[in-house]
Homo-oligomer: A and B are copies of this chain.
């Protein structure tokens, strides 16, 4: 069958999986669809109350019998169905399976009067890399359509064990190696705040869906910004843990087996409280017993407590930068950073300058790593079905690109390690100068607020942190505002890309676009960085 027919069939199967009564009769023309559920006529008041809750509230109700898993699942199935019709964000929609799973959980609760686990009855959306037994994981590749999974991914399995309900799998860009979400199977996913904007990527389906509250917690993955950029573009929190904190085993992936920089998985959600619910629920099931890459590190409450105590006594000591030396962020992002810096200072925390250390070198290294097989992995999957490369990766998918040779790879890996160690030395020196511990630094996650389609150019703010393998949490801060974020006049770019990115800024086009920052700390200290992110959110009044 021609690839176009396979894709068309898949598209129609996705739509057919939505019950008739959840279909939108006449589609709204608004660019923002954030308030569509309320006026849809499809969601009941109770259902809206559910989708507008926090995950923490919901599991409290579910675990005490005040709420049934069936009702919660139904509400999210409906809102996700609306999301898909408006934003084109799902690759799998399976309310029947979800409601059956919810009924089982309700039966369990009725029988034992206790929840099966800390996520009892909570719907969680999954990026279409996570396998769910019985479903497809196409990952937006035509060639992978029609292959049904015989086993859950490890994370799916542990979430299921914790009581989570699965109901949708969300869209990704072809290859995953892009921060916008478009593929040949369902096309482009758009931003619920403004459909002319990108939802980010590669976990863009999650970003759009969670932003729209078609999901309360979504699972994404990140090798160069793929959790953090969608979180930022949809005004959400996102956690990119260090490699080895959360289980990735048995998921589908692009460039599988590439271990120089690891893709990691983590939640996209509306609060750090919900983020903690997710992380602690997974860790309580000892993922290191199922995935060899996971470090045996339970949730360390003492690490969270240390930061909380510091917040309430001496205050935090936080570094910050707003320019990595490669590409200057747009005015709304610079203002976002300044907003956080001011909020921290006003509340007695210490904020110090942080000089990013050789980020240009880091970005070059990671780019070489991503292209180290000359695109063969991606190209061979495209070739299998005959589908073309999406515009965003056309350069990458060229079988004549030369591969990195084994000794070159080893050299790159040595350079990576050296740079990482030098960065640690920078940190140590900065602490010495500051006369005490530095708890984190804050930085841009993308040089732009939620961007117009096909304009995303520079991944370096995100990918340098991946090369460090440090913990990062995205915190939503504010919205671009044409009245206070004017275009810089006579900007002198430091390089061509810097000029291109800066020129793209248009106060009108960006007006209202979500602005976020990332909070970054050393490796495997998720407890600390999440707690700092929570404090920043609190100071910002979220």
Please tell me if the beta carbons of A417 and B292 are within 8 angstroms of each other in the complex. Answer: yes
Kindly provide the distance from the CB of A264 to the nearest chain B CB, expressed in whole angstroms: 14
Q: Is there a chain B Cβ closer than 8 Å to A33's Cβ?
A: no
Please tell me if the beta carbons of A255 and B424 are within 8 angstroms of each other in the complex. Answer: no
Q: Is the interface of A mostly helix, strand, loop or mixed?
A: loop
Please tell me if the beta carbons of B523 and A296 are within 8 angstroms of each other in the complex. Answer: yes
Kindly provide the distance from the CB of A306 to the nearest chain B CB, expressed in whole angstroms: 13
In the complex with contacts A249-B417, A297-B297, A417-B249, A410-B257 CB distance below 8 A: yes
Hey, which chain B residues are within 8 Å of A439, CB to CB? Answer: none
Query: With A and B bound together, what is the CA distance between A255 and B411 in angstroms?
Result: 10
Name the interface residues of A246-276: CB closer than 8 Å to any CB of B.
249-250, 255-260
In the complex with contacts A296-B522, A412-B257, A424-B289, A376-B407 CB distance below 8 A: yes
Interface 9-mer from A45-53, A95-103, A160-168, A398-406 = A398-406
Convert A352-383 into 0s and 1s, putting 1 for each residue whose CB lies closer than 8 angstroms to a CB of B.
00000000000000000000111011000000
Name the interface residues of A275-298: CB closer than 8 Å to any CB of B.
288-293, 295-297
Please tell me if the beta carbons of A423 and B255 are within 8 angstroms of each other in the complex. Answer: no
Convert A225-255 into 0s and 1s, putting 1 for each residue whose CB lies closer than 8 angstroms to a CB of B.
0000000000000000000100001100001
Among A257, A414, A417, residue most surrounded by chain B Cβ atoms (within 10 Å): A257
Q: Chain B residue with minimal CB distance to A303?
A: B296
Query: With A and B bound together, what is the CA distance between A417 and B263 in angstroms?
Result: 14
Please tell me if the beta carbons of B410 and A292 are within 8 angstroms of each other in the complex. Answer: no
Q: Is there a chain B Cβ closer than 8 Å to A525's Cβ?
A: yes
In the complex with contacts A403-B405, A404-B406, A409-B406, A414-B292 CB distance below 8 A: no
Taking residues whose C-beta sits less than 8 angstroms from the other chain, chain A's interface range is: 35 or more
Kindly provide the distance from the CB of A390 to the nearest chain B CB, expressed in whole angstroms: 21
Hey, which chain B residues are within 8 Å of A107, CB to CB? Answer: none
Please tell me if the beta carbons of A292 and B409 are within 8 angstroms of each other in the complex. Answer: no
Q: Is there a chain B Cβ closer than 8 Å to A206's Cβ?
A: no
Please tell me if the beta carbons of B295 and A410 are within 8 angstroms of each other in the complex. Answer: no
Query: With A and B bound together, what is the CA distance between A406 and B407 in angstroms?
Result: 11
Convert A204-234 into 0s and 1s, putting 1 for each residue whose CB lies closer than 8 angstroms to a CB of B.
0000000000000000000000000000000
Q: Is there a chain B Cβ closer than 8 Å to A468's Cβ?
A: yes
Kindly provide the distance from the CB of A399 to the nearest chain B CB, expressed in whole angstroms: 12
Report which of B292, B421, B428, B524 forms a contact with A423, defined as CB distance below 8 A. B292
Please tell me if the beta carbons of B292 and A420 are within 8 angstroms of each other in the complex. Answer: yes
Please tell me if the beta carbons of A259 and B257 are within 8 angstroms of each other in the complex. Answer: no
Hey, which chain B residues are within 8 Å of A376, CB to CB? Answer: 406-407
Report which of B288, B372, B406, B421 forms a contact with A291, defined as CB distance below 8 A. B421
Binding site for B on A (CB under 8 A): 154, 244, 249-250, 255-260, 288-293, 295-297, 372-374, 376-377, 403-407, 409-414, 417, 420-421, 423-425, 427-428, 468-469, 522-525
A-B residue pairs, 4 tightest by C-beta: A257-B410, A292-B420, A257-B414, A257-B413
